[in-house]
Amino acid sequence: MAQDTTRFKIEVEDGKGLWSDVRGEDGRVLTFPSEADARAALTERFPVLVQMEKYAGGKRTRVIRILEDDDDWPKRPGGA
């Protein structure tokens, strides 16, 4: 039986249409085991933006499901 390895990340928009991954203090992209965990982290890190989306419209934050790439094509140097 295959193990569920689905992960989620959070992104924030810079106001000019460019989306960026949210990174931890170590510079690595933050990932979460569930969508609920990712949304909780998003609300914790960007409470004003999340609330603005509810009342003022516009989208400045999002949760993204990370898709697994079975064949990892093309091969990237250093596995990055």
pLDDT value for 68: 73
Is position 75 within any domain? no
Is position 64 within any domain? yes
pLDDT digits (tens, 9 = 90+) for 20-57: 999 999 999 999 999 999 999 999 999 999 888 888 77
Q: Can you point out the beta strands (E) in 28-77?
A: 31-32, 61-66
Is position 47 within any domain? yes
Number of domains comprising the chain: 1
Is position 66 within any domain? yes
pLDDT value for 79: 57
Is position 26 within any domain? yes
Is position 79 within any domain? no
pLDDT value for 1: 44
Is position 34 within any domain? yes
Range of the domain at 28: 7-70
